[in-house]
Amino acid sequence: EKYGYLHQDNHIHNQAEMQSAIREFQWLSRLPITGELDRATLRQMAEPRCGVSDEGSQQLWAQRVNAIFTAGRDHGGQPRRRKKRSASQGEKWYKRHLTYQIVNWPRHLSPGPVRLAVRAAFQLWSNVSGLVFQEAPEGPADIRLAFYEGDHNDGSSNAFDGPGGTLAHAFLPCRGEAHFDMAERWTLNGHKGHNLFMVTAHEIGHTLGLEHSPVRHALMSPYYRKLGRSLVLSWDDIIAVQQLYGKPLGGRPVRLPGQVFHAALQEWELADAPSGHQGTAQPLYCQGVFDAITMDQNETVLVFRGSVYWTVSAEGTVSAALPLRQRWPQLPLAIEAAAFSPLDSKWYFFKGKRMWRYTGSKLDPGFPRKSSDLGLPRHPDCAFYYAPLGHLVLFKGSRYFVLNLKTLRSEPYYPRRLSDWTGVPQGTNGVLTRPDGRLYLFRQHQFWRFDPVKVRVTREGTWVQELSWTGCSNTLLNNNIL
C-alpha cells in the first residue's frame, strides 16, 4: 500500500489483488515472478529504499522501451514526434537552467564536503542531458534538499522511520523537493552507512520527473545502489532523462564510473577531519560515528574513522586525529573492522574482501589476503580478540565467524548464529575487551556490555555519556581549563 502496489481503501484485499501486487513488486525488483511472498521477496522488502511510490513505473518503463524499438517512426514507417512519457503537465520542468539549495545538513558531515557531493550528483545528470544546474545558497530555488526526522508535515505516509527502511523521498516537478532521513548514518566514504552522494543523485532524478526503473544497476532502481566501480548511470537512466530534456549541448553524454567519485568523495569527507578536535572540544567520533574500535596491550583505546584515528590512554587522555597511513602504511582508508590480538601482538584490519595484518607498523609478508581464502565474510561488521576462545571473532549480520590465528583458517563448525551471544544486537560497528575481561559492543550511540562468564549482555546505555574511557565525557572541569 505504501509504495503503490495495492489501493488503500479500507486496507482490504482479495487473493487475486495480493498476487498481482506481489508479481509487480517482484518484476520491478528483478526477482523470480512467483506471486508468492517467498523468502527472497520478503528479504528485498526489508532493504533500504527510496520512499517514492513505485506506482506506474512498469507502464512508464514499457513506454520508454517501446520508444527505443520503434526508433521514432509510426506504424506506416513515417517519422513521428516522440511521445511525452506522460500527459501530466507537472511531470517535467519547462526550462533548462535550474537552481538548487541545500536547506540544512546531515549530522556527522561538514557542510563543505556535502556541498561538493551534492554538486557532483547534479553534474551526473547535466553531463548526459540538456539541463544546467546552479547552486543558490540563499533566496528561492527550483530544487530544495533538506534533512528531517519522523513526521515532517509531508503526510503520515511520508514520515521517516528512523535508521534503515526509507532513506529519502522526493517530489516530481514542479514542487522540486527532496527530503532525507536525518536519523540515518550518512557517509560519503566507506561501506558502513548510506552513501549520501548516491542517494542524492537518485532523488534528483525524481525531482527531474523520472520514475523508478526495473533495470539492473540503474541509479533509479527503488532500492539504493552502493557506489561501485561501474558506471553510475545506466543506459535506462540516460534514456529517461533525455526523453524529457534532450541531449547535452555538446551532443555527447559524459558517463563517469564510480571509481572516479570514490577518490573525490573520500577526499571531500575527510578533508577537515584532522581539525575536528581542537582545544577542549570533543573528538569527531564522539558524535557517534566511527568505523572501528580496539584496544592494545597498553590498555590504549584506538578509534578509527576515515583516514584518521584517535588514541585514548588508560588515564582518559585523547590524542589529536592522527593520519592512519602514517602508522600503518598501505592500509586502505575507511576500514570496516580492526582488532589487536594479545596472542601474537599483531594488528588485524578488514575492508571489503581482504584482511591486512601488521606487526607494529610493518605489513606482514603475504598480506593483504582474501577473506574468502580464510573462510571469512566480506564487509564484516566488526572484529575482536576473544580470550575464552583464544581466537579472533568476526560478526557479520546474523552470524559470527571464528578465525584461528595460528592456522589463519576459520574454525570448523562456523559460522554460527549470533543468537549464541545472548542480548547482542546485529549490526555492531565495533567491539573491544576491557581489562576486566568484559566485552563492550558499539552501534551508533548505544553500547552493550557482554559478560563472558554469564554469557549474556548485562548492561546497555549511551557510550558517549557513560563510558569515560572512550574519551568523550569531557566535562571541562580539569586543571588545564583553569
Please list the active-site residues: 203
**3-class SS of residue 73:** strand
Residue 431 marked ligand-binding:
yes
The DSSP result for 332-353, as a single string, is: PSS-SEEEEETTTTEEEEEETT
User: CA–CA separation, 165 vs 161, rounded Å?
Assistant: 7
**3-class SS of residue 77:** coil
Q: Which residues pair with 339 in a beta bridge?
A: 348
CB 24 within 8 A of CB 58: yes
Residue 11 marked ligand-binding:
no
Task: Return the half-sphere exposure (C-beta side, CA atoms, 13 A cut-off) of residue 356.
Answer: 22
Residue 162 marked ligand-binding:
yes
- Contact residues for 81 (Cβ-Cβ < 8 A; gap 6+): none
Residue 286 marked ligand-binding:
no
Residue 206 marked ligand-binding:
yes
Residue 154 marked ligand-binding:
yes
Query: Maximum distance among all alpha carbons in the chain?
Result: 89
Q: Which three cell numbers stand for residue 322?
A: 592522527
Residue 184 marked ligand-binding:
yes
Q: How far apart are the first and last CA of the chain?
A: 61
CB 129 within 8 A of CB 170: no
Residue 383 marked ligand-binding:
yes
Using the structure block, give the residue that is written with the C-alpha cell 563492550.
Answer: 440
User: CA–CA separation, 197 vs 137, rounded Å?
Assistant: 19
* The pairing of beta strand 362-363 with beta strand 354-359: antiparallel
Residue 436 marked ligand-binding:
no
User: CA–CA separation, 345 vs 298, rounded Å?
Assistant: 11
Helix H or strand E segment including 291: none
Q: How many other C-beta atoms can be found within 10 angstroms of the C-beta atom of residue 100? A: 21
Residue 293 marked ligand-binding:
yes
Residue 169 marked ligand-binding:
yes
* Three-class secondary structure assignment of 16-32: HHHHHHHHHHHHHCCCC
Residue 152 marked ligand-binding:
yes
Residue 38 marked ligand-binding:
no
Using the structure block, give the residue that is written with the C-alpha cell 517519422.
Answer: 79
User: CA–CA separation, 451 vs 101, rounded Å?
Assistant: 50
List the binding residues for Ca(2+): 142, 161-162, 181, 184, 291, 293, 338, 383, 431
Binding-site residue set for Zn(2+): 50, 152, 154, 169, 179, 202, 206, 212, 220
Q: Residues at the annotated binding site?
A: 50, 142, 152, 154, 161-162, 169, 179, 181, 184, 202, 206, 212, 220, 291, 293, 338, 383, 431
